[in-house]
Structure 1
Amino acid sequence: MSSYERFAEVYDELMTDIPYAEYVEWIQSFAPAQSYKNMLDIGCGTGTLALLLQEAGYNVSGIDLSEDMLSVASARMNAAGIAMPLFAMSMDELEGFSNLDVAIIPIDSINYVKEEQNVIETLKRIFESLREGGQLFFDVHSLFKMDEIFLDGPFTYDDGEISYVWHTEPGEAPHSVYHQMTFFVQTEDGLYERFDEEHFQRTFAYEQYVKWLKEIGFSQIEVSADWTNDQPADENERIFIRAVK
């Protein structure tokens, strides 16, 4: 899994198109904070969604593999006057949590888990950490996005302060992609500093995720696509899955 390294410094600027408020609404519609108080944000990143959920009434803790991401998240919580527990931890090694009301793996974070067995282990450990009736919410890239959209690069971005060139190439595993990104970030003296990142993502058919969830013991599994209540179709880009212990 990627550690995100210096990517944490620019992550928020590049994620402004994510409708975080809709993610909160999705969770609230099935697990209102009045009845589902204790939440774990798995792959919490810089804490943008975790802060919104805390403000919506949940008691949120967060884990992320990247200490750089957690540093940004900690600063965000401190600025908001919130003491949120944050832990550096790989999701497939999740431990120390029990009787959770809700667990979330937002913004395709589980797609950074490389191996099938580690994905299954992640879902098992979440199941063990939830209370009876607790709920899991997560989203993944669709096969269409991984196999076609991502490979239709390169992609570029430039807002004057941050620029990048983003190349992609297929990974060895089915439905996987290597992201090779070169960033140019403006410094205080007006010059630009370059750094490079390489990330790997892999997804599976949503039917496979559902199969694993059922085998682990989850029930009431619901699948939708692209921030709607619609069932996935061939050209959807993001798949949303909810399951109950």
Structure 2
Amino acid sequence: MNYQAFAALYDTLMADAPYDKWIDYMQKQLYKSNLLGSRVLDVGCGTGELLVRLNDFGAEVVGVDLSAEMLAIAKEKCEKAGFSPLLIQQSMTDLEGLGQFDVVTVFCDSLNYLETEQEVVDTFQCLFEHMKEGAVLLFDVHSVSKIEEGFIGHTFAEDAGEIAYIWTSFKGDHLFSVEHELTFFVQNELNYYERMLELHKQRTYPVDQYKQWLVEAGFCDISIQADFTSEYPTNKSERIFFCAKKNRGI
């Protein structure tokens, strides 16, 4: 599948994603009226939707993603918006040579795609090393209840015209993990539908475990909220937000 088709697929599936809410969350956590002048590293940047919004707020952005195909889409999208950020294909577990940043983001549950505990630990350490003194790390993850009750055993389907999908979620190999089996039907130029299969694996951990790993990596002043609110997570929360600082000087 060429990357233009994949972009149409991904962006259609993510059409209702709350990108503006992620920006609002950032603004509140940074105690600023805007992001003007901040150097921001967006890890798991995907097709660049957040990069475009961050640039609009005056941030100097760098994007990292494991997928070269996604980065190609992000490049095209950013250039169309009038800027050309540095986009790098790397794993978040082994970042290197990116410089230092004021803010690091890992949104849209990108962290949940890491398969092992050690990968999460390594990622926190890599992010810490790429942050300036006083810098802020912001990320979100699926809650345990979202994995256990919101995904496992459920089937989702949608017909969006040129794209349709069936999404079935099964219990994964590890505690608090899930496997998403996705079948896509994408209309091609001949008006035939091509069938495509993908398997996505996600894994999460209890809130206290993430907090422990952050502290062990050197982070402090850790604040935890749920579902784009200022409230601490409950057992019904779906998306958990973390804000952690490199030191107490910010």
* Short-chain TM bin: over 0.9
When the two structures are aligned, how many residues end up with a matched partner? 241
Q: Structure 1 CA distance, aligned partners of 2:35 and 2:89?
A: 28
Percent sequence identity is: 43
Report the Cα offset of residue 169 of structure 1: 0.9
2:8 equivalent to 1:27: no
Unaligned 5+ segments in structure 1 are none
Report the Cα offset of residue 8 of structure 1: 4.7
Q: 1:99 to 1:35 in 2, by over 3 A?
A: farther
Report the Cα offset of residue 97 of structure 1: 2.3
Corresponding residue of 1:92:
93
Corresponding residue of 2:193:
192
Residues 152 and 169, structure 2, Cα contact 8 Å, conserved in 1: yes
Corresponding residue of 1:157:
158
1:44 aligned partner, one-letter code: C
Report the Cα offset of residue 15 of structure 1: 1.1
C-alpha distance after superposition, 1:116-140 (max 9, x if no partner): 0010000001011101100000000
Map 1:145-224; keep pairs closer than 5 Å. Answer: 145-224=146-225
Report the Cα offset of residue 36 of structure 1: 6.0
Report the Cα offset of residue 236 of structure 1: 0.8
C-alpha distance after superposition, 1:9-63 (max 9, x if no partner): 4111111222111111111223345576101000000000111011111101000
Report the Cα offset of residue 154 of structure 1: 1.3
TM-score relative to the length of structure 1: 0.94
Q: Structure 2 CA distance, aligned partners of 1:240 and 1:34?
A: 19
Let me know the Cα RMSD of the aligned residues.
Answer: 1.6
Report the Cα offset of residue 91 of structure 1: 0.3
Q: Structure 2 CA distance, aligned partners of 1:7 and 1:243?
A: 34
Residues 36 and 101, structure 1, Cα contact 8 Å, conserved in 2: no
Corresponding residue of 1:136:
137
Q: Structure 2 CA distance, aligned partners of 1:116 and 1:18?
A: 27
Corresponding residue of 1:46:
47
Residues 7 and 197, structure 1, Cα contact 8 Å, conserved in 2: no
Q: Structure 1 CA distance, aligned partners of 2:216 and 2:37?
A: 24
Q: 1:47 to 1:98 in 2, by over 3 A?
A: same
Unaligned 5+ segments in structure 2 are none
Report the Cα offset of residue 188 of structure 1: 2.3
2:29 aligned partner, one-letter code: F
C-alpha distance after superposition, 1:188-233 (max 9, x if no partner): 2222111111111100111111111111111110000011111101
SS in 2 for 1:10: helix
Residues 125 and 217, structure 2, Cα contact 8 Å, conserved in 1: yes
TM-score relative to the length of structure 2: 0.92
Q: Structure 1 CA distance, aligned partners of 2:205 and 2:10?
A: 25
Residues 36 and 102, structure 1, Cα contact 8 Å, conserved in 2: no
Q: 1:169 to 1:8 in 2, by over 3 A?
A: farther
Report the Cα offset of residue 152 of structure 1: 3.6
Runs of 4+ in 1 over 4 A off after TM superposition: 6-9, 33-36
Corresponding residue of 2:80:
79
SS in 2 for 1:221: strand
